[in-house]
Every structure is written in C-alpha cells, then in structure tokens.
Amino acid sequence: MKVTVDQDRCVASGQCVVAAMEVFDQRDEDGVVVLLDPEPRAERAEDVRHAAAVCPALAIAIED
C-alpha cells in the first residue's frame, strides 16, 4: 500500500490522525496533514483506508 496526501486540499479536520495516528499527523502551526508513513504495513491498511474514507477533503489517496 502506498499513501499520498494533498496538503493543498487538506482542511485540517484531523479525522485521519484519529483513524491512523501512526501514519498521519498534523502540522503544529496550522493543522494541515503530515504523512508520517507513505508505505504503511499491511496490518495498518484497514485504518488507513478508514482515514481516507472519512477525510472530508478527499485529500488522502491510496494505491495498492
């Protein structure tokens, strides 16, 4: 699984961090998403898919 984020689309809502805190973080200054792990391990795949599904800005893309 490969993950990318679009920081220009991100609206800093934080749902991705709640869903998968090992993979996503937020910038201290403005809350925009920071991708911690662009190639998460298989056991995190479900959480990452959930994060992408709940992102209100559709700023998370997943490639299998």
Site for ligand SF4, rule CB under 6 A: 5, 10-16, 24, 26, 33, 55-57, 59-60
Of 27 and 41, which has the nearer Cβ to ligand SF4? Answer: 27
Nearer to ligand SF4, 34 or 45 (CB): 34
Q: Which helix (H) or strand (E) holds 59?
A: none
Q: Closest approach of Cβ 47 to ligand SF4, in Å?
A: 13
Tell the smallest beta-carbon distance from residue 64 to ligand SF4 (Å): 19
Toward ligand SF4, which CB reaches closer, 15 or 48? 15
> Left, alpha or beta for 31 (phi > 0: left; psi -120 to 50: alpha)?
left
Question: DSSP per residue over 22-50, as a string?
Answer: TTEEE-TTT--EEES-SS--GGGHHHHHH
Q: For residue 1, which amino acid is it?
A: M
